[in-house]
Amino acid sequence: MSEIRKTILIVDDDADMLDQMKLQVENFGFDVITAAGGKEAEQMLDKQKPDLAIYDLMMETQDSGFILAYKTKKKYPDVPVIIATAVTAETGMMFNLETKEDQNWIKADKYLEKGVRGDQLRREINKLLKI
């Protein structure tokens, strides 16, 4: 009997970053669906529930990833969400999920700085999917 593969939604407005992450996650053994921004991702979420989602933070607006994470959690509370961003390098603004206050307004399960190593990304995905 074949094992059902998990599907991961990756959303990023940087086409190169999106392609790179898609390839990486497919090599981990997952099915991947992608969107180039929040609006496209919302349409996809209306049609399909992913097993996990990875969102860029700054897309159409500076907080697109946070808005998309909020909408995802509202629709599918059990879907883990990773925010992967270069916002600290680009703006100096820092975010994390260490305090309850941060967790209350950032509806994500993990926050990663872009440039994340493949082994770290795989570890975080596996941890959130409990595999």
Q: What is this structure's pTM?
A: 0.84
Q: What angle do CA 59, 42, 25 make, to 5 degrees?
A: 70
Distance CA 91, CA 72 (A): 25
Q: How many other C-beta atoms lie within 10 A of the C-beta of residue 34? A: 19
pLDDT over 60 (residue 15): yes
Domain-wise residue ranges, the chain: 7-129
Give CATH superfamily name and number for 7-129.
Response regulator (3.40.50.2300)
69-115 per-position pLDDT tens digit: 999 999 999 999 999 876 544 544 555 555 555 555 567 888 888 87
Report yes or no: 56 and 17 within 8 Å, Cβ to Cβ.
Answer: yes
